[in-house]
Each structure stands twice: as C-alpha cells, then as structure tokens.
Structure 1
C-alpha cells in the first residue's frame, strides 16, 4: 500500500484550486510545527484589512506591557472614513474603550476604529511589532482609506506567509500573554464577515478569521481547529479588476477561498 503524505496531498489540492481560480492567488498553511503547504506565499500584496490582525496584536502587546488599558477610552474624531464598520454611521458615538475599538476593528472590520488605534500606536510601532514577531514583508505605512497617502506611494503591504505565520504564532501563545491571547482569539472567532476561507466549514470546527478586500483584491486569514489539531491559512487574491469597464469582480474568487478552507480541514481530519 502506498502511504500518501497529508501535506503533499494538501499541496496538490491547493495547486488545483489556484489553477482554476480567477485572479492570482498566494496561499500559506502553517501548523504547530511550521509550514505545511503553500503557493507563492512570499508575494507582496496590498494588505487591505489584513493589517488589522497586526494592529490587534500590537495593541494587546501594549496592554501586556502596562502601557495601555483595555478600559481606557479614546475620543473618536468627528470626521469618519467609513468604508467598512459601524462607526461612520453612528456620529453620536464620540468615545469608546480600547477593547470595544478592538472588537469593532476585528469583527466588523471597522476602519475608523482601526485608524484611531493606529493613531494611538503609530505606524512604525505596528510595523516594528511585526518585525519582532518575524513578519519580514509586512509594512504599515498609512491609515485605512487614506487615498492621498496611497497615491504618494505609502501603502500597507503583506504576504500570505506573514499572515499565516502571525496567526499561528498567536494561536501557539508565542506573541502575547495568556489573557491577551485568549481575547485576541475570541475576537477573531466573533468574525461577522466569515465569507471566505471558513464559509463552508461545519459549525463544530473551532475557527476565527479576518478578511480584507479592495477593488480587485480579496484576502482572508483563518484559524481552523478540530479534534485537537489546528492550522492557520492565509489566502491573498489579486488581479480581479477590469480596468476597461471599471468593474471589480473579486467576489468571484470566494468559492476558491472556501475550497482552500475545506482542503485544510481535510488535511486536519485526514479525510
């Protein structure tokens, strides 16, 4: 009988998904002992809202260091950038606790919450946090929806390898204290936009995720956990914007993202 290595089988599944998916995909799957499988995982892409996972970790590191409190309240600016989240629709909300900002940033991908935390922490500090954790290709250079900064060449970038590695280090308890680790994972598990990698996973699978999108871009990073086994997976998908017709067709890649999630679950369960 020929024994098929589960990681090799997963690699073949990922290759098949990439071949049939629209746009250009990069994938990384990481388990407790390291990289399991991947495809073009070191390709740098616009980070979109995936940057918010690193902001979450950077903020909670400040909490662990006693330099920030979860109960500390921050004043919201009158002008809101919107685009994603609830705060741009709630002008009567003028201040929130740090923990509430973290929850809105992660579960609803609220850009105004993220920008307030970025203002508090500083772009350089968030980038340095990533470097300390081992993220070699993730750069945080501007706020969310800052068009002027983007047009001047300042952008937030990352890779599938960095994102899967960050979530794996978080799951393994290597980047935060115990209480902060539990909070971060709980917030990711409360994700309200789980339409990508985890979309077709059964309810019994412990999971958390953070999607991100821009015109022509769809990303997702997720934790898949079942039966005592776990893996993190990041998928970045680009090149899905029709310049001629000014049409974003990135939603067409969502079935491919869900197929990646199913493949990772199959790897974990041996099915």
Structure 2
C-alpha cells in the first residue's frame, strides 16, 4: 500500500539534494576562475614571459643564388673543311695516299683512306717508344756506352755509317742519331738493345695500334725482297703522337724526353715546310724505290696543337712533297690561326 507520507518525504529529500548541488556550481565556477587567474599571474612574473623586443632578421627577398654555369661545349673539328683541303692537296696527287688530323681539346678526327702502308723511317717512332718503355721499367739507361762494330754498318740515311769501327758512343747519342738524323745504323743498334722485332711489335700492341708491324731491320733488303716490310697506318701514328703529346704514352718524364727529340728533327720539308712561328715535333720517312713520302707531326702554337699524319706511296716524290707542304700550311691556317 502506497504511503503518502513516505512519498512526500522521499520527494522532499530529492529536492533538497538537488538544491544542494545547484548551490555548489557558483562556488566551483569561482574556484576555476581563481585558478586560471593564478596561473596567468605566475606566468607573467616569469622572466621568460616578460616581453623583450627582439629584432627578427628579415628574410632576404633576393633571388636564390644561381647554379654554377655549365661548361662551354667542346668545339668540333671542322672535318668538312679538312676534307676539302685534303682533296685539293695530298689526295689529289697520284699514288696511295692517306691522311689523319686531330686537334687537341676538340671533338672529332678527320681520317681519309686509313690502311696499312709502307712505314719507311716513321717506324723509328715505335722503336723509340719501345726503348723508353724499357728504360722506364729499369731494363737499361741511355747513359750506357756502346762500341760500334763492322756488323752495325748499313747504308741509307744517317751519319753513323761513316764512323770508324770501335767508335764509342752512349745510347743517348744513338737515340738522338736515330730520331734527329733518321740514322739507320743507330736504329738497328737500338732495335737490338730493346730485344728485336718481337719487342717492338709487343709495344705496338700495348699502345693499341691495329696496322703496325715491324717485319725487318732497317736496310734489310733480303727480307724486303722476300716480302717482309715494316707497315703502319695514319691512324696508328696519330694514336701514338696523340698519347705522346698528352703525356700518356710511357710517363710524363719519358714523354717529355721523346718530344724533345722530335723537336730537334732536321727534316721539315713536308708538313711544316711553309710554317713560321709554329712548334713542330715530327718524324718523316722516305723510300724512293717505292715512291714513299711520309710525315707524322705534332704542330703547335699559342692557339693550340694538332696531329697531322700523311702517308704516301707509289707517286712522284716532288708532287707528294709539295702536296704535303700545302696541306700542312692550309690545315695550320684552318686550325691554329685564331
């Protein structure tokens, strides 16, 4: 049975509790406000909270630094112009003629009719390279003495064939006679010193030549009659001279010595004949019986340097020499006049 008195008491109790809760809300609100105010006051008293004017560097409005400039493109060899020069000069005369031109610090190479041809005395470049390779390896020195024998005497170019048997020279003198006077006696002495034909051919392979082979000693006419001759190509000679000038053939010291020898070569009747003010490092080769007129040269001035090689055989001597002289002068004007 429902008790009205008990119900009334229960309702009154709940209303009282509700009233008590409502009375706490203002107190709680005041307490929260006081806590927040206290925290703000503490923060304001902290030194780090004090306002200290600081100058802030203004970010630069200038453009970001430019990247490094791109290197200028490598100039290209004017092969079309060189072809025109060659066709009007060395390729215009009768005979088997081939040409190679390379300018240093320039992209490209001009080559015409590259093929194995009779080397004549330009083969001495490869004997020289073999000797300096062995000198660098410590196998011998150019200070060593040599005594001339009767068996050393051969004909052709050079001065040593006129020396008396028993004449004493150094290998440095032999090397100089070989390169500057194109001396055949000196060449055969140096050839024997380095180990003969096989040693020179091994060095040719080391250099990276494709058409060069030494098949006989200088003035070995018996071997020549049997069909054995020394052969090379304009590309092989161009590779040797390019490596030499860039000091990448044997070593910087050895290459410098070899260039000094070539600078003293006495035969400038072909490629450099018309040049003035140029530095020339060259080696020629001649073999009249086969119409051979060869020249392999490095030509330089203040504007740069280039390699030029011409091999000619089966033609008339004077026509070949004049054509090579004209070719050298015109290539020089084209490549090093500016």
TM-score relative to the length of structure 1: 0.90
SS across alignment from 2:298: strand
State the distance in 1 between where 2:334 and 2:78 align: 6
- Give the whole-Å Cα distance in 2 for the aligned partners of 1:17 and 1:193: 20
CA offset at residue 34 of structure 1?
6.2
Which residue pairs with 2:127 in the alignment?
55
- Please report how far the alpha carbon of residue 95 of structure 1 lies from its aligned counterpart in structure 2 after TM superposition: 2.8
Distance 1:102 1:124, change over 3 A: same
- CA change 1:9–1:81 in 2 (3 A) is same
The aligned counterpart of 2:12 is none
| 2:322 equivalent to 1:213 | no
Deviations 1:23-53 (A, max 9, x none): 2210111233565212102x11111000001
Count of equivalent residues? 258
Within 2, Cα distance between the matches of 1:239 and 1:46? 10
Name the one with the larger strand percent: 1
Which of structure 1's runs of 4+ aligned residues deviate more than 4 A? none
- For residues 49 and 56 of structure 1, the distance between their equivalents in structure 2, rounded to whole angstroms, comes to 12
Shift of residue 93, structure 1, vs aligned partner: 5.8
Name the SS for the 1:230 alignment partner: strand
- Cα deviation 1:136-176 (Å, max 9, x = unaligned): 11001110010111122221100111112111111111112
Work out whether residues 191 and 210 of structure 1, in 8 Å CA contact, stay in contact via their aligned partners in 2: yes
Question: How far apart, in 1, do the equivalents of 2:318 and 2:112 lie?
Answer: 21
In the TM superposition, what are the counterparts of 1:125-164 in structure 2 within 5 Å?
125-164=199-238
In structure 2, distance between residues paired with 1:35 and 1:53: 24
Aligned-partner Cα distance in 1 for 2:185–2:160: 6
Q: Secondary structure at the match of 2:125?
A: helix
Q: Higher Cα Rg: structure 1 or 2? A: 2
Which residue of the other structure, out of 232, 235, 239, is the alignment partner of 2:314?
239
RMSD: 1.8
Q: Is the 8 A contact 2:85 2:331 kept in 1?
A: no
Tell me by how many angstroms 1:234 deviates.
0.9
Alpha-carbon contact 1:142-1:154 (below 8 Å) kept: yes
The answer for the alignment partner of 1:253 in structure 2 is 320
| Residue 44 (str. 1) matches residue 119 (str. 2) | no
Between 32-41 and 22-31, the greater mean CA deviation after superposition: 32-41
Kept in 2: contact 1:13–1:263 (CA 8 A): yes
Equivalent pair of 1:31/1:168 in contact (CA under 8 Å): no
Q: How many angstroms apart in 2 are the aligned matches of 1:139 and 1:40?
A: 18
Q: Secondary structure at the match of 1:28?
A: strand
Indicate the structure with greater helix content: 2
* Higher relative contact order structure (alpha carbons within 8 Å, sequence separation ≥ 6): 1
For residue 70 of structure 1, the aligned residue among 142, 157, 174 is 142
User: TM-score normalised to the size of structure 2?
Assistant: 0.72
